[in-house]
Amino acid sequence: MFGLFNSPASDSSNPAPGKGGAVAAGTHAVLGTPLAAPPAEGQAEAQFGCGCFWGAEKGFWRLPGVITTAVGYAGGQLASPSYEQVCSGRSGHAEVVRVVWDTARISFADLLKLFWECHDPTQGNRQGNDRGSQYRSAIFVDDPTLLALAEASRQAYQEALDTAGAGRITTEIGSSRRFHVAEPYHQQYLAKPGSRPYCSAQPTGLTLGTYPGATYLLPASVWESYDWAIPHCVLRGDNAPIALV
């Protein structure tokens, strides 16, 4: 289902008040790659819901080996949801980030590491100050092997949470979720001049270790760019992708 990249019902290039300007049509504002291109040979894709998609997208586009990212809506009932409909909670969609990556440079395990560590997956229908089903934690991927790896990573992170005396994971993991691209002003929002530096993610401070099937490709130095002990860590980092030494 991930090649079904729907345009939003209301796709005005005029920015919402206080939310930055429009992205160049179809082009990633930081990476310069097509937003809607399907994965080529040697690439894969998945969708991640980690609360407000502004900060979540920046976290993913900075990882070496990520080809492109786009924010949008998935997991709901409406055929072509708008931001206002999603925010109402009545469409059933989650705010998600679509990520396409080069499988030779970065693994799904690396992406899962960022996913679990960048937010609190135990908060249900909220993330920090953001409340509503649109902010729920979610992983949507169609490849059965990757789906199994996502499940294994959830079990491993739950064990870490249990050891720390934290709560139960509420993350929704599934496949065949149509991706509806969000309005242009949301795309790579935090990289745009005049953007409001907002991120409500509440990382637990716990890291994801090894688990069956996990093969990490990124070096440890990459993760030094994400210090989850610092409030709004993603906002403090550069917009540019992390350079490998």
Q: Smallest Cα–Cα separation from 115: which of 2, 206, 242?
A: 206
CA distance 94 to 127: 12
Strands 137-140 and 126-127 turn out to be: unpaired
Which letter, b or e, does each residue of 30-60 get, where b requires 16 or more Cβ atoms within 10 Å of its Cβ? bbeeebbeebeeebbbbbbbbbbbbbbbbbb
CA pair distance 208, 1, nearest whole angstrom: 28
- Joined tokens for residue 69: 């990212």
Which residues are marked as active site?
52
In whole angstroms, what is the distance from residue 171 CA to residue 101 CA? 22
Q: In sequence order, what are the residues at sequence separation of 6 or more whose Cβ sits closer than 8 angstroms to the Cβ of residue 109?
A: 149, 153, 213, 214, 215, 216, 217
DSSP designation for 22? P
